[in-house]
Structure 1
Amino acid sequence: MKNLVIFLTICIFLFCGCAAKKTGKKITIEFMTPVEISQLNDLTKNIKKFMKKHPDIAVVITRGDSRNYESKIQARIASGTAPDLVFLNSRFFAYFVKNNIFENLSPYIQNDNEISLDDYFPESLNFYQFDNGLYALPKGINPVVLAYNKEQFEQRGLSIPDNKWTWNVFANAARRLTVDENNDNIIDNFGCAMPPLHVLIWQSGGDILSENFTAAAVNSSHVRQAIQYQLDLINKYKCTARPAERADYGSGEEMFMTKRLSLVFMGHAKIMDFRAHKSLDWDVEIMPGFAEHPRVTFLDSAGVGILSSCKYKKEAFELLKYYCGTDGVKDRIRSGEQFPAIKKLAYSPLFLQPEKKPANHIAFCDSVSFARNYQKAMNMGRITEAFFDEVTQILEGAKNIDQGLLNAEKRINEILNNQ
């Protein structure tokens, strides 16, 4: 019932257009977020603590459905009822910043004595830095590591992964972990999920776009090496499924949690799901790497920014500073789910919770220093969608590598030329 009341309140403010306004002595700030209903109570408690410290500011939470969330923000802006603060995935920030939708936070931070950017992982801020300005603060980050089933490693007499693992060691272990128990040509346990292609490309020294984001860079030896490794896992080592087959088995995380897959790549956001499977004996390690190249992993983030149209930017900044600062983040990491972008909190017992799985929880923290995200180009979502569509056809055998990459290059350049 409480969730229903909150949801109805949100709807009322949404349709009335409740961007920052002054009512009596109170200023109302609207915070738009795609938070799930199940997480709404925690968010509301977090915001209530802020309002207790700032009795002159009232905060209204607008829950935007995660489907087409970015389009809904744009629709609110076009209608003249834009919210004041918005939560947004990092991959969409380039478009919003380049269209002057977000306020540059750098002047506010420089004139504030309470917030220090030195407290944050530098990698968590990179998402939101454009042209010497900072346009959001990270709500949290989501580094990707390798998770493994300890019990299955012991059953096969294999040494568990360590921080020296290469992709060659990974492939050989995955092959030995792949099991057809009944000899019926149906795999009962796959050795591994497919390693993230973008990570393999970065570790090979390549990328999807040129350095200045003006042309596709996928038709290269680096990208070929990465795709060939994925093909080898399917055809040579026979330890992972093709994309079409994976649809029948479920996601890699689902297969891992039900003990049908031994090695999977997980972001920290999945940790509560893994912990819920009490009988699963698992741990994590940093991402494997190619011996001849620096190690790289994937890092995602969601940030909170102030819209340029916000009327009461000073008050909105106070909310942003609290929500993404130590006090606000500390409240949200107690469950262990959200990975804090603030370094001292990430390495604290409050977050690491050594009494809970995974035992090597700190591997997530250690991964941040060599983690990155996609290039900060406009329309990066469309670009990666076109690229991975071609790669899927290569992995399915519908195209060879040369055909797929040539077509991917053409499709990406068309997107770049029509921005």
Structure 2
Amino acid sequence: MRKLILLLFTLLLMAPALAGCATAPIQHSTAFMVSGSKEEYDAYQKLVDSFQTANPAYKVELRYVPDDADYLRRLAADFAAGAPADVMLLNYRRIAPFADEGALGAVGPYLAKSQVIKEGDFYQPALDAFRYKGELWCLPQNVSSLVIYYNKALFDAAGVAYPANDWTWADFVAAAKALTLDKNGDGVTDQYGVGIDPILYRLAPFIWQAGGELVDNPANPTRLSLDSPAARLAFQWFVDLQVKEKVVPDAAAEAAQDSQSRFLSGALGMYFNSRRSVPTMRTIKDFDWDVAPLPRGAQPASVLHSDGYCMAAKSKDKEAAWKFIEYANSVTGQEIVARTGRTVPSLRAVAESASFLDPAQKPVHSQVWLDAVPTLRTVPVMSNWPAIEDAASKEVERAFYGQASVEEAAAAASNLTQSLFKKSAP
């Protein structure tokens, strides 16, 4: 009895110490900010949970702003107020203004010292996209490209063969026309062949495929080149999808139901987007779908879609910020997000594994994204590029919806952006 009492007394004395061993105190904290769909948010929550389980002394606050435009406004406001998230996701096209304002901290020095990841582990096009003025500003989470999501049931019903890896612009238009239907004969299109955003970023790969350029000098741009013969050819082909072929919803139809929603409802044959739509597409229960590469012009080309984990220059705990970025871009971290469907992993080891190329998960032909890597190109990374792209996209939209000719839109885009190029000059 005396021994039992002594044992219980000893266990009581040890209880606080044992409790301390079971739950490590939080020593580091960091905030991570993202945008996107509910499915995308869920992907990042899984990443955060895994990081905290592996690193119990670290706490991550996940900040979520669903709309991309609201996200950028919130990020700019937080930076201006001196209270940004420690880590945020940014598309490579958006890093230059933040880097020029001193808002971002370069991650290159951290990567050089890492014992977990190294430069050679990543696909080079993705890593190079985040280099600006001699510094690596962010680590790319993905190496996506623009692809075509297609409704297999609608292709079958129309008697159209699924897209081939080497299909052409003409093949694409023929398929789109066959998929565009007025089902009840009332003169109103009920099913469209194609959904695509009428913006410069969607037009870009077709200009490159035609042998044209977006700007006069990709290494040191001073003006847009949408008025060159090759660029005009691609621009006109792009616009004709709506104004001539009528295979894309017009402005009123797109406003009534956006193309992604139309695809999800089964009323759209093909939809252009990057890998980020996959988590949402996996919610489809009523029909089968897959992905295909872009149709080819005179030469193969696609456009890089890549977001990177970036660090705030004023982060109060850079050790914690880097540790999370490092984990997110380790094999373990990238596998977690890859399995949700959100990314084409920027790490070769993960992209070429079953975590991404899982035949049991849709889309079946995820290899399409990896096949596109050698053809990936980027838009300029410069301080005023976001403003240039926005202004040019308004003119692309005008032409796309028949409110201006291609020649008028190209000239207006050049005139409206010329001063922005001068402001970005070194």
TM-score (norm 2): 0.82
The residue number in structure 1 matching 2:96 is: 94
1:370 is aligned to 2:375: yes
Does structure 1 retain, via aligned residues, the 8 Å contact 2:140–2:306? Answer: yes
Does structure 2 retain, via aligned residues, the 8 Å contact 1:243–1:392? Answer: no
The residue number in structure 2 matching 1:381 is: 386
1:316 is aligned to 2:318: no
The residue number in structure 2 matching 1:186 is: 188
Residue type of the alignment partner of 1:274: M
1:199 is aligned to 2:222: no
More off after superposition, 83-92 vs 117-126 = 83-92
1:208 is aligned to 2:214: yes
Does structure 2 retain, via aligned residues, the 8 Å contact 1:119–1:343? Answer: yes
Alpha-carbon offset, residue 129 of structure 1: 0.9
Relative to structure 1, is the Cα distance of residues 228 and 317 closer, same or farther in structure 2, using a 3 angstrom cutoff? same
Residue type of the alignment partner of 2:91: N
Alpha-carbon offset, residue 167 of structure 1: 0.3
Aligned mates of 1:240, 1:40 — CA distance in 2: 30
**Aligned residue among 238, 256, 259 for 2:263:** 256
Residue type of the alignment partner of 1:276: T
Alpha-carbon offset, residue 95 of structure 1: 1.0
**Aligned residue among 329, 337, 341 for 1:336:** 341
Relative to structure 1, is the Cα distance of residues 227 and 357 closer, same or farther in structure 2, using a 3 angstrom cutoff? same
**Aligned residue among 282, 286, 293 for 1:279:** 286
The 3-state SS of whatever aligns with 2:413 is helix
The 3-state SS of whatever aligns with 1:31 is strand
Alpha-carbon offset, residue 110 of structure 1: 1.9
User: Which digits, 9 at most, give the CA deviation of each residue in 1:85-134, with x for residues without a partner?
Assistant: 22223221011122232222222222223212222222221221113321
The residue number in structure 1 matching 2:397 is: 392
Aligned mates of 1:387, 1:405 — CA distance in 2: 8
Relative to structure 1, is the Cα distance of residues 353 and 383 closer, same or farther in structure 2, using a 3 angstrom cutoff? same
Aligned mates of 2:194, 2:37 — CA distance in 1: 30
Residue type of the alignment partner of 1:347: E
Relative to structure 1, is the Cα distance of residues 186 and 49 closer, same or farther in structure 2, using a 3 angstrom cutoff? closer
Alpha-carbon offset, residue 28 of structure 1: 3.3
1:175 is aligned to 2:201: no
User: Which digits, 9 at most, give the CA deviation of each residue in 1:388-407, with x for residues without a partner?
Assistant: 21222223333222222211
The residue number in structure 1 matching 2:48 is: 47
Aligned mates of 1:39, 1:73 — CA distance in 2: 18
The 3-state SS of whatever aligns with 2:226 is coil
Residue type of the alignment partner of 2:105: E
The residue number in structure 2 matching 1:229 is: 237
The residue number in structure 1 matching 2:132 is: 130
Aligned mates of 2:251, 2:390 — CA distance in 1: 15
The residue number in structure 2 matching 1:16 is: none
Aligned mates of 2:358, 2:373 — CA distance in 1: 18
Relative to structure 1, is the Cα distance of residues 82 and 399 closer, same or farther in structure 2, using a 3 angstrom cutoff? closer
Aligned mates of 2:73, 2:243 — CA distance in 1: 41
Alpha-carbon offset, residue 178 of structure 1: 2.2
Relative to structure 1, is the Cα distance of residues 221 and 340 closer, same or farther in structure 2, using a 3 angstrom cutoff? same
Does structure 1 retain, via aligned residues, the 8 Å contact 2:164–2:292? Answer: yes
The 3-state SS of whatever aligns with 1:289 is coil
The residue number in structure 1 matching 2:249 is: 241
The residue number in structure 2 matching 1:31 is: 32
More off after superposition, 273-282 vs 161-170 = 273-282
More off after superposition, 366-375 vs 30-39 = 30-39
Query: What is the total number of aligned residue pairs between the two structures?
Result: 393
1:218 is aligned to 2:226: yes
Relative to structure 1, is the Cα distance of residues 381 and 172 closer, same or farther in structure 2, using a 3 angstrom cutoff? same
Structure 2: gaps (5+ residues)? 1-24
Aligned mates of 1:159, 1:41 — CA distance in 2: 35
User: Which digits, 9 at most, give the CA deviation of each residue in 1:306-325, with x for residues without a partner?
Assistant: 22233443443222111222
The 3-state SS of whatever aligns with 1:140 is coil
Does structure 2 retain, via aligned residues, the 8 Å contact 1:390–1:407? Answer: yes
1:401 is aligned to 2:406: yes
Residue type of the alignment partner of 1:251: D
Cα root mean square deviation, aligned: 2.7
Aligned mates of 2:231, 2:147 — CA distance in 1: 21
Aligned mates of 1:158, 1:32 — CA distance in 2: 43
Relative to structure 1, is the Cα distance of residues 40 and 220 closer, same or farther in structure 2, using a 3 angstrom cutoff? closer
Relative to structure 1, is the Cα distance of residues 405 and 332 closer, same or farther in structure 2, using a 3 angstrom cutoff? closer
Does structure 1 retain, via aligned residues, the 8 Å contact 2:194–2:270? Answer: yes
Sequence identity (%): 26
Residue type of the alignment partner of 2:213: D
Relative to structure 1, is the Cα distance of residues 315 and 154 closer, same or farther in structure 2, using a 3 angstrom cutoff? closer
Residue type of the alignment partner of 2:104: F
Alpha-carbon offset, residue 55 of structure 1: 4.9
The residue number in structure 2 matching 1:306 is: 311
Relative to structure 1, is the Cα distance of residues 296 and 107 closer, same or farther in structure 2, using a 3 angstrom cutoff? same
Aligned mates of 1:50, 1:300 — CA distance in 2: 25
The residue number in structure 1 matching 2:19 is: none
Does structure 2 retain, via aligned residues, the 8 Å contact 1:172–1:237? Answer: no
Aligned mates of 1:76, 1:118 — CA distance in 2: 34
Aligned mates of 1:285, 1:143 — CA distance in 2: 11
Does structure 1 retain, via aligned residues, the 8 Å contact 2:126–2:306? Answer: yes
Residue type of the alignment partner of 1:318: K
Who wins on radius of gyration, i.e. which is larger? 2
TM-score (norm 1): 0.84
The residue number in structure 2 matching 1:114 is: 116
Alpha-carbon offset, residue 157 of structure 1: 2.8
Relative to structure 1, is the Cα distance of residues 69 and 254 closer, same or farther in structure 2, using a 3 angstrom cutoff? closer
The 3-state SS of whatever aligns with 1:263 is strand
Aligned mates of 1:41, 1:357 — CA distance in 2: 18
Residue type of the alignment partner of 1:221: P
The 3-state SS of whatever aligns with 1:350 is coil
Aligned mates of 1:313, 1:254 — CA distance in 2: 40
